Amino acid sequence: MNRLSLAISAAVARVTESALGPYQTAVIRIGFTVTWLLFLLREFPHRQELYGPDGPWDFDLAQQLIGTNGSFTALMWFRGQFWFETVYVLAVLAGVLLLLGWRTRTMSVLFMVGVLSLQNRSIFMGDGGDNVLHLMCVYLVFTRCGQVWSLDARRARARAERTVDRTGPVLWSVFGFALVTVTAAGRLDGDPTVPVILWGVWLAQALWWLVGRHTRTGQSRILLDVVANVVHNGALLVIMAEACLIYATAGWYKIQGSRWQDGTAVYYPLQLDSFSPWPALADLLSASGTMVMLVTYGTVVVQVAFPFTLFNRRVKNVLLAVMIIEHAGIAVLLGLPFFSLAMISVDAVFLPTTFLRRLGGWAARARAGLLRRFPYADRMTKPSEPRTPENPEHTHVGFPA
């Protein structure tokens, strides 16, 4: 009984005292923002056909659909070219700033608004990776994804003494003014999920700033920090569960298909012109019946087995590497780069911390080599460490990252 109590106490302390998986959440942040930005930039010449007011799925059709399903999209607030271009550019800008890790809490919210606005405007534009990005952009809001590899982490290290955050209140005021305006205009009617998230984050940031500004003791700040850690760790658990659910459902549905049972399922998509950016390479793979059978059965085995291997680190890491290679193959052979990038970003939540720290060290050394001619290169390439009880952030009055 004493051992059980000690184990429970240790687990509770671990969940409340620190935000777990700082490197994993940073990789998820970087992976999904890169995926989204590459998609928006590649489709920039075709943005009118995809999401514009004069595209095939025009404003009236989108308005009818949204009136039925109640989904959130800022593109339906106003009709016209100027508003569409504004939302598209802001979606790109929010993605860039979140990628850099600047004000990650605020930028994650704006990133979510941009993703949902464009995807819900034209729900038929996607390849499967859009569904993953749709879910993960919401989960990302609840994580403390700027602990490492971000401008926020660099700013926290640079604060050696108590300072006042001036940028945070300005962003909070602008965000609040916009939120009050669209709420009063009735633009947030429909699905209550997004409005609750927007108002919740806005109020939470105000509470965080007030506690840091006006309380003399650190007890209130510690309580808020504990709540933020619990929310982060809960969101991280949901992301991991979502990844397992995706693979488990995909694997078990494949088992029920006759083409997957006889080992020929991989052959057929390789013969479709729409999924053959490299026909010669697809023909080379499909020409070998043995290779097609191994890839078909191997895909099913890996997807079904992966959730059960999480308790064995070595086996999990092997299957994780196989799945990442598989998604890279899908990107090349079937021409689905954004689907593959989205799935690899999901897989990153299971990457070992030691590997990610080593990867960060390699990136820091490479950046140091590129920036060694600049006088402040040594400060810019200093590796960031996650915020832990042994390595706390410098105390400052500001908004949470």
Q: What is the mean pLDDT of residues 41-54?
A: 91
Comparing 10-24, 106-120, 150-164, 285-299, the range with the smallest average pLDDT is 150-164
Q: What is the model's pLDDT at position 381?
A: 45
Comparing 32-36, 122-126, 288-292, the range with the smallest average pLDDT is 122-126
Domain that holds residue 272: 251-350
Same domain, residue pair 69 and 157 = yes
Same domain, residue pair 287 and 176 = no
Same domain, residue pair 31 and 174 = yes
Q: What is the mean pLDDT of residues 64-86?
A: 91
The verdict on residue 121 lying in a domain is yes
Comparing 156-160, 168-172, 279-283, 314-318, the range with the smallest average pLDDT is 156-160
* Residue 392, pLDDT above cutoff 50: no
> The tokens of 260 are what?
């997957």
Count other Cβ atoms within 10 Å, centred on residue 118.
25
Same domain, residue pair 369 and 345 = no
Same domain, residue pair 53 and 157 = yes
What is the rounded CA–CA span in Å between residue 77 and residue 166?
31
Same domain, residue pair 284 and 345 = yes
Q: What is the mean pLDDT of residues 179-202?
A: 90
pLDDT tens for each residue of 349-376: 999 999 999 998 888 888 888 777 665 5
Region for residue 388 given its phi and psi (left: phi exceeds 0; alpha: psi -120 to 50; beta: otherwise) = beta
Same domain, residue pair 154 and 181 = yes
Same domain, residue pair 183 and 74 = yes
Rounded to a whole number of angstroms, the distance between the first and last alpha carbons of the chain is 40
Q: What is the model's pLDDT at position 373?
A: 64
Q: What is the mean pLDDT of residues 174-202?
A: 91
The verdict on residue 401 lying in a domain is no
* % of the chain surpassing 90 pLDDT: 61
Q: pLDDT-derived band of residue 155, with 50, 70 and 90 as boundaries?
A: confident
Same domain, residue pair 332 and 371 = no
Among residues 151, 186, 214, the one where a domain terminates is 214
The verdict on residue 288 lying in a domain is yes
Which residues, in sequence order, are bridge partners of residue 397? 164
The verdict on residue 156 lying in a domain is yes
Q: pLDDT-derived band of residue 273, with 50, 70 and 90 as boundaries?
A: confident
The verdict on residue 224 lying in a domain is no
* Residue 395, pLDDT above cutoff 50: no
Q: What is the model's pLDDT at position 127?
A: 79
Long-range interactions of 321-328: CB distance < 8 A, separation 24+: 322/298, 323/247, 323/347, 326/299, 326/302
Which residue do the tokens 């240790």 mark? 10
Count other Cβ atoms within 10 Å, centred on residue 257.
11
Which is nearest to 83 in space by CA: 108, 117, 57? 117
Tell me if 123 sits within 8 A of 76, measured CB to CB.
no
* 284 Cβ neighbours under 8 A, 6+ residues apart: none
Q: What is the model's pLDDT at position 222?
A: 86
Tell me if 231 sits within 8 A of 18, measured CB to CB.
no
The verdict on residue 242 lying in a domain is no
* Residue 65, pLDDT above cutoff 80: yes
Q: What is the mean pLDDT of residues 202-229?
A: 84
Same domain, residue pair 370 and 281 = no
Ranked by mean pLDDT, the top range of 3-17, 123-137, 229-243 is 229-243
The verdict on residue 400 lying in a domain is no
**Per-residue b or e along 320-350, where b marks 16 or more CB atoms closer than 10 Å to that residue's CB:** beebbebbeebbebbbbbbbbbbbbbbbbbb
Q: What is the mean pLDDT of residues 293-312?
A: 93
* Residue 223, pLDDT above cutoff 90: no
Q: What is the model's pLDDT at position 213?
A: 75
Same domain, residue pair 72 and 99 = yes
Average pLDDT, the chain: 87
The verdict on residue 87 lying in a domain is yes
Q: pLDDT-derived band of residue 177, with 50, 70 and 90 as boundaries?
A: very high
What is the rounded CA–CA span in Å between residue 176 and residue 196?
14
Number of domains in the chain: 3
Same domain, residue pair 161 and 184 = yes
Among residues 214, 231, 263, the one where a domain terminates is 214
> The tokens of 294 are what?
């191994």
Q: What is the mean pLDDT of residues 137-147?
A: 95
